[in-house]
Structure 1
Amino acid sequence: MRWFDCGVNLFSAQFADQETAIIAAANNAGVTRCLLISSDLAESKKNTQFSQQHPGCYCTAGVHPHQAAQVADNWLSELTEQLANPKIVAIGECGLDFNRDFSPRAVQQAVFAEQLKLSQHFKLPVYLHERDAFSTQIAMLKEQPPLAGIAHCFTGNSQQLKAYLDLGLYIGITGWLCDERRGQELQQALAYIPLDRLILETDAPYLIPRNIRPRPRCNSPALLPAIGSEVARLTGRSLQQIAEQSYQNSCQLLQLPVEEPTDAN
């Protein structure tokens, strides 16, 4: 089986000086491709440099809503320049977060809107973050529809899920699904996700799947099959089918060839 982890925070402090080993362990577990998530332009530079040295790694570039208030005056031109790199296959992590409000909401919306424009211009998918801002985010997506995108780490209900699907988005499922305390609503919504819209992501080092025993110190892309196992259990499908379909969906979203990465991208 081959797996594609469509969400890794490789340059998180918890992975410091272990980045290469983390990816090697993932490959040994059958996770042959990883998408490295960027929260700001400095992180996207790190992700790009790493991806250029590691076949099977790709990355996003963009500004997370938490970082929206900290962008430099020239952030848009710098991001535009970064997007020329073929290792960057999506814009983000971008969107809205009205739960913590680390950046003023108006600033979040302005920075998000600019990234939606870039998505249209460069024909790149958006990698979406949303927390407690669903109605505003959906309205902005309808106003500036992206070419494609993923609802990263989706934890919402069936109604929200259907709204994202109506926009043609893919749905990112993480270890949240494996949480018997918090994941019940998501487990119910899972039944409404078409198999060709399902994408798996660890969001490592966060969201350790709670179906893993003994519990590891932190999450890693090598643990992605545990999330696939829970999807298979809840949907009644085979693990092989979940692995292969989510792999192909990730390639489709990110406009990558499906074959194993001997490609130079």
Structure 2
Amino acid sequence: MHLIDIGANLTHDSFDRDRDAVLARAREAGVARMVVTGASRAHSPRALALAQAHPGVLSATAGVHPHHAVEYTDECDAELRALHTHAEVVAVGETGLDYFRDFSPRPAQRKAFERQLQIGVDTGKPLFLHQRDAHADFMAIMRGFDGRLGPAVVHCFTGTREELFDYLDQDWHIGITGWLCDERRGAHLREIVKNIPAHRLMVETDAPYLLPRTLRPMPKERRNEPAFLPHIVEELARDRGEDVATTAAASAATAAAFFRLPPPGAD
């Protein structure tokens, strides 16, 4: 397999001691490329630096997650725009709304989301989106930018069937993680992932979070990493009624086109 992990938080401090080994394990597992998530004012520059240190393997996003929306100032906006002048930064975000935890006030979340969508308008780059328990406001804000945005992926999709079809009706892409493997929270996903067209489906680990609960043997430290992406693909392929190779190849081709990357294996 030549997979693309579209969302890995490789700047997380849990990787500081062995980041090179994590990347090596990913390559050995068939994960040819990874997109490093930039999700805060501090970590978006680190995501770019990491991508620059590993050309052809890592790319980056640059944005501010709704959890950090209170840090979105004019200065932060200027910093993000500077990051987006670099070719290694392939998408705007992670940005969106999260009303599940409300780590930032909802008005601040909405303002930060709108300002980052404007960066998407101005740069033409794809959008790397987050939505949890905020579907109505999320859709309303996105509709306010109708016709002005490039392609979008709702990353780490965990929502309902109705939410899925709302996104697909907009021709947005869907990112599937190890949430699929969680029998407590993700069982509904197993029933609906077959509805995602292959050219709209991508896969991700969201490492170090969301370690697949069906992984065997289970890592002792419970840290997720890109090397476990093939396991998610295997589970996803089973739920879609496809061969693993089919799901793997299609998701990688979709991700390469979405982020404007060379196809895996092209190097």
Do they superpose with TM above 0.5? yes
Give the letter for the 2:231 counterpart. Answer: A
Between the aligned partners of 1:223 and 1:255, the Cα distance in structure 2 is 24
2:258 pairs with 1:257: no
Task: Give the structure 2 partner of residue 7 of structure 1.
Answer: 7
Q: Is the 8 A contact 2:33 2:264 kept in 1?
A: no
Aligned-pair CA distance for 1:142: 1.2
Task: Give the structure 2 partner of residue 91 of structure 1.
Answer: 92
Q: Is the 8 A contact 1:120 1:147 kept in 2?
A: yes
Alignment map for 1:48-127 (pairs within 5 Å): 48-54=48-54, 55-127=56-128
Query: With structure 2 as the length reference, what TM-score do the two structures score?
Result: 0.95
Aligned-pair CA distance for 1:257: 2.4
Residue deviations 1:78-101 (CA, integer Å, cap 9, x gap): 111110000000011000011111
Give the letter for the 2:33 counterpart. Answer: R
2:180 pairs with 1:177: yes
2:169 to 161, 166, 171: 166
Give the letter for the 1:46 counterpart. Answer: R
Aligned-pair CA distance for 1:17: 2.5
SS at match of 1:116: helix
Query: With structure 1 as the length reference, what TM-score do the two structures score?
Result: 0.95
Aligned length: 262
Give the letter for the 2:251 counterpart. Answer: S
Between the aligned partners of 2:59 and 2:99, the Cα distance in structure 1 is 29
The answer to which of 24-33 and 141-150 deviates more is 141-150
Between the aligned partners of 2:264 and 2:40, the Cα distance in structure 1 is 30
Between the aligned partners of 1:261 and 1:57, the Cα distance in structure 2 is 15
2:204 pairs with 1:198: no
Task: Give the structure 2 partner of residue 150 of structure 1.
Answer: 153
Identical counterparts, % of pairs: 40
Between the aligned partners of 1:260 and 1:89, the Cα distance in structure 2 is 19
SS at match of 1:41: coil
The two structures, once aligned, show a CA RMSD in angstroms of 1.2
Between the aligned partners of 2:266 and 2:60, the Cα distance in structure 1 is 14
Gapped regions of structure 1 (runs ≥ 5)? none
Between the aligned partners of 1:143 and 1:63, the Cα distance in structure 2 is 20
1:240 to 220, 239, 245: 245
The answer to which of 27-36 and 182-191 deviates more is 182-191
Q: Is the 8 A contact 1:158 1:192 kept in 2?
A: no
Q: Is the 8 A contact 1:56 1:261 kept in 2?
A: no
Between the aligned partners of 1:83 and 1:73, the Cα distance in structure 2 is 15
Task: Give the structure 2 partner of residue 208 of structure 1.
Answer: 211
Aligned-pair CA distance for 1:258: 1.6
Q: Is the 8 A contact 2:256 2:264 kept in 1?
A: no
Residue deviations 1:116-150 (CA, integer Å, cap 9, x gap): 11111111111111111011001111111421111
Residue deviations 1:136-181 (CA, integer Å, cap 9, x gap): 0011111114211111100111110011111111100000111122
Task: Give the structure 2 partner of residue 27 of structure 1.
Answer: 27
SS at match of 1:90: strand
Between the aligned partners of 2:262 and 2:143, the Cα distance in structure 1 is 29
Between the aligned partners of 1:259 and 1:5, the Cα distance in structure 2 is 11
Give the letter for the 2:79 counterpart. Answer: E
Gapped regions of structure 2 (runs ≥ 5)? none
Aligned-pair CA distance for 1:214: 1.6
Residue deviations 1:182-217 (CA, integer Å, cap 9, x gap): 111111121211111110000011111122112112
Residue deviations 1:50-75 (CA, integer Å, cap 9, x gap): 11111310010011111110234411
Q: Is the 8 A contact 2:91 2:259 kept in 1?
A: yes
SS at match of 1:17: coil
